[in-house]
Structure 1
Amino acid sequence: MYKPSYVWPNPAFPFRTYFESKGLRIFIIENIQHNWLWLKDYHGYFKPTDYFFVYCGWYHSEHFAKEADVIFNELGLRKDNFYFMYNQPSEGENFSAKGFKGELLNQNCWLDENLVMKPLDLPKQYDAIYVGRFSAFKRHYLAEKVSNLALVAGNNHGNKVADGIPDHIYLNEAPLKPNQVCEKINQARCGLILSELEGACFASSEYLLCGIPVVSTVEKGGRSAWYDDYNSITCEANSDSVAEAVQFFVENPRDPNIIRERHIAKANYFRAKFVLKFAELLDKHGIIGVDPFLYFKEHYIHKLRNSQKPDFNKIFVEQ
């Protein structure tokens, strides 16, 4: 019997019924192996017209692809009914080698640009800000030579706590509300993302939506899909290179509206790809009377999916 490397630890986890009709249902899930417990119990109730759009919440490596392939073989799942939304091309290469379907559709496009994160006319107080929990993989120590640094840390989610937290002039004493995070980002000249491996990293795109440039190290996960020569510097993973990149943006400020509007334009490109896939399934299964673009607009939510405790008996067994 397959044993997953990780499963959702809580009864509430990312799952959403996106579209439901007699001839087609679309569900949004995050990752594959994380969902093993309910997949093994309910896969026998899946219909040929049930489709799963898979959010890639962490870098989908060759190992992830092999693990997903084992799960699909053991449960007899149809790969044609799962559509992976990759954050970077190498994820697609890893999974297509195992026969999985999907395309580049970076998860940061699901950040609602009208919700909170936006440019504010505030005086700059920090040379750089790092929004990220104090987990070891975030590599805060690489910012040790950055002057006037602000740190905003959240829940560590059970990850190994980082060593070497750099000197700083601001650190939140309690969790900040999104509007407070937005204010802090706008008080900085650039944002830091220094991990080598994670997902596409919402914080990276939140910096861009607030109109500040990003200093990033080379990464696997997909955040660099949003970077260009104007809005970012990708530097070597050492403290001197990070400090040098920060100083560049201190001396060469960027237009926040240009940064934000370019991000929104790319987000709309990815969203259109999602809608086209949705339209393809509507057409394939003869669903009429549904305008895919209007449906998308009316059912759009921040980050596309929400965490809930799904009633799988009601969703799959009682249908």
Structure 2
Amino acid sequence: MPTEHPDILIYDSLRCHLVSNNPIIIISYGYPFAAPSRLCPYLRDRTAYFLMGNWWSLRDTAFLKTSLALLTFFKHTYTKHTFIYLTNEPEESHILNGLGIDNLFCNQNAFIDERIFRIDPGQEKKYDAVYTARPESFKRHLLAKELNNWLLLYHQDQTKIPQETRYINMLQRKMPQMIRGNNIGEQQTYVKLTPPQMTAYYNQSRVGLCLSDIEGSNYSTTEYMLCGLPVVSTENIGGRNCYLDQDIARIVSPDARAVKQGVDELIAAAIPGNVVRKRTLIKMHRHRQNFIRYIQGIYASHDSNRDFSSEWDDVFVNKMHRYPANAETFLKGHGLV
């Protein structure tokens, strides 16, 4: 039996949400074992289920290998706990099924709150495209260099301010047509945008961009579409393709001219925003129903007469996670310790 866990893919923010307190079911996002590493010790002697969403692709061999090493440790250490991966694309489930590992294909973007991201017909279209992406090279911002004007939205990591600032300044030098939505005034001071501000910017844009080649499912993909924007995405793995189809999106090669062509095609197509939103909501609903059925199956295994579908509206929160200060706060708040 392992005596200590691998020290990778654990030290991450605690992002979790209680689905049920009897039986105990906890859902979390980020690195798979970031939440279990904090919560399992308190629940060691109790039956508990951990539904673990990933913000990276399990098709990344190195990521998968480390995650499976952690799974081995946790299964041996916490024998009363069940660990279930929430996968973002069928290919991830195929890999885990082949290894005999519990998983549910339930794309993370299904849990975005459609009441937050909405179409606002009163907003004037100002930008050909919008790209919500952290200031890191894997997001491949320079693939937008052929666009006439486009809007960058991002969240600043307080631990990486100098390098992120240098990166954004580099982008601005190479793409003067890029507008920084988070930066105001002559000093271009960074401001963290609220969801309503993000929604307003989306509604001022014509097309949403997703330009990375690998990551998780990419929340912004679905945020765009809930606001009525068609999407130009590069070829990728990770899960965002679950919400894209030829009628409301273009999946293009990682080439700036191909990105420009995709944006121009979608602008010319003038797809009604409500068509984009409705198609997205239908796909989200299917994943939510899969999730509800899975939780109902756990209830059934405990001979519970509860109906999870009737509880859904009370359980649901945006993205199905919150940021508790620490494990004790979370568990005490739900009467679990």
TM-score clears 0.5: yes
How far apart are the structure 1 equivalents of 2:68 and 2:286?
Answer: 30
Q: 1:5 aligns with which of 3, 8, 23?
A: 8
Which residue is equivalent to 1:16? 17
* SS of equivalent to 1:28: strand
Which residue is equivalent to 2:38? 38
By how many angstroms is 1:310 displaced?
1.6
* SS of equivalent to 2:193: coil
Structure 1 residues without counterparts, runs of 5 or longer: none
**Greater displacement, 107-116 / 203-212:** 107-116
By how many angstroms is 1:117 displaced?
3.2
By how many angstroms is 1:43 displaced?
7.8
Contact 2:213 2:234 in 1 (8 A): yes
| 1:164 matched to 2:166 | no
**Greater displacement, 146-155 / 237-246:** 146-155
How far apart are the structure 1 equivalents of 2:157 and 2:256?
Answer: 23
Which residue is equivalent to 2:262? 245
Which residue is equivalent to 1:52? 50
Which residue is equivalent to 1:205? 222
Query: CA 1:86/1:46 → structure 2, altered by over 3 Å: closer, same or farther?
Result: farther
Contact 1:85 1:105 in 2 (8 A): yes
Which residue is equivalent to 1:88? 89
Q: Tell me the amino acid that sits aligned with residue 303 of structure 1.
A: K
Q: Tell me the amino acid that sits aligned with residue 114 of structure 1.
A: R
Q: 1:285 aligns with which of 274, 297, 302?
A: 302
By how many angstroms is 1:250 displaced?
2.2
By how many angstroms is 1:306 displaced?
0.8
Contact 1:128 1:192 in 2 (8 A): yes
Residues 70-81 of structure 1 mapped to structure 2, 5 A cutoff: 70-75=69-74, 76=76, 77=78, 81=82
**Greater displacement, 212-221 / 89-98:** 89-98
| TM-score when normalising by structure 1 | 0.88
By how many angstroms is 1:34 displaced?
3.0
By how many angstroms is 1:129 displaced?
1.2
Q: Over the residues paired in the alignment, what is the CA RMSD in angstroms? A: 2.6
Count, aligned residues: 312
Contact 1:135 1:156 in 2 (8 A): no
By how many angstroms is 1:144 displaced?
0.6
Contact 2:24 2:49 in 1 (8 A): yes
Query: CA 1:175/1:78 → structure 2, altered by over 3 Å: closer, same or farther?
Result: same
Which residue is equivalent to 2:126? 125
Query: CA 1:9/1:146 → structure 2, altered by over 3 Å: closer, same or farther?
Result: same
Query: CA 1:70/1:315 → structure 2, altered by over 3 Å: closer, same or farther?
Result: farther
How far apart are the structure 2 equivalents of 1:214 and 1:293?
Answer: 31
Q: 2:314 aligns with which of 293, 298, 316?
A: 298
By how many angstroms is 1:237 displaced?
0.4
Q: Tell me the amino acid that sits aligned with residue 290 of structure 2.
A: K
| 1:27 matched to 2:30 | no
Which residue is equivalent to 2:188? none
Residues 118-197 of structure 1 mapped to structure 2, 5 A cutoff: 118-156=119-157, 158=159, 161=164, 162=167, 163-165=170-172, 166-168=175-177, 170-172=179-181, 173=183, 174-197=191-214
* SS of equivalent to 1:81: strand
Q: Tell me the amino acid that sits aligned with residue 171 of structure 1.
A: R
How far apart are the structure 2 equivalents of 1:46 and 1:221?
Answer: 35
By how many angstroms is 1:44 displaced?
7.6
> What's the CA shift string for 1:106-149, capped at 9, x where partnerless?
00010110124334332221111112221211111110111121
Which residue is equivalent to 2:187? none
Q: Tell me the amino acid that sits aligned with residue 154 of structure 1.
A: H
How far apart are the structure 1 equivalents of 2:241 and 2:68?
Answer: 27
How far apart are the structure 2 equivalents of 1:80 and 1:310?
Answer: 16
Residues 238-277 of structure 1 mapped to structure 2, 5 A cutoff: 238-277=255-294
